[in-house]
Homo-oligomer: A and B are copies of this chain.
Amino acid sequence: MASNTTVIEEGTDFTPEFDSNGLIPAIAQDARTGQILMVAYMNRAALDLTIQTGYATYFSRSRRKLWKKGQESGHFQKVEQILVDCDQDCLILKVAVEAGQCHTGYQSCFYRTLAKGSSK
């Protein structure tokens, strides 16, 4: 009989592992360029809405509510593909996007690079 690990890692069933807060991290990656745009979290409802609507919906940990990306900024994320990792505790959303995806105005939330060898 297949072990639980085998089922999770090699099976075709999607059984996302939500953490103790009921959340799973989701990486939004530009489907065209490969640039990582942001990382946010989903609860079950956010994931279901994302799948049903085809647009990324997250759960805001600070506001404690569902948050359709773009609902205020207009910068929606059209989901082209969802990938899940080996232990099913992280997702990638490959998304089609237009303007700046970070609330700061940058295209990606990852707009800063550490100086080589520095921890500052």
Q: Which residues of A contact B (CB under 8 A)?
A: 9-10, 12-14, 25, 27, 29, 33-36, 38-39, 47-48, 51-52, 54, 81-87, 90, 92, 102-104, 106, 109-114, 117-120
Asked whether A84 lies within 8 Å of B104 as measured between CB atoms, the reply is: no
Asked whether A27 lies within 8 Å of B51 as measured between CB atoms, the reply is: no
Chain B residues with CB under 8 A of A39: 25, 27, 85, 90
Q: A14-B120, A51-B119 are in contact. Are A83 and B113 (CB under 8 A)?
A: yes
- A94 to B, closest residue via Cβ: B113
Cβ 8 A contact of A84, one of B10, B14, B87, B110: B110
What DSSP secondary structure best describes chain A's contact surface?
loop
Asked whether B25 lies within 8 Å of A29 as measured between CB atoms, the reply is: no
A84 to chain B, nearest CB (A): 5
Asked whether B27 lies within 8 Å of A114 as measured between CB atoms, the reply is: no
Asked whether B114 lies within 8 Å of A14 as measured between CB atoms, the reply is: yes
Asked whether A10 lies within 8 Å of B104 as measured between CB atoms, the reply is: yes
- A29 to B, closest residue via Cβ: B36
Chain B residues with CB under 8 A of A90: 39, 109-110
Asked whether A111 lies within 8 Å of B86 as measured between CB atoms, the reply is: yes
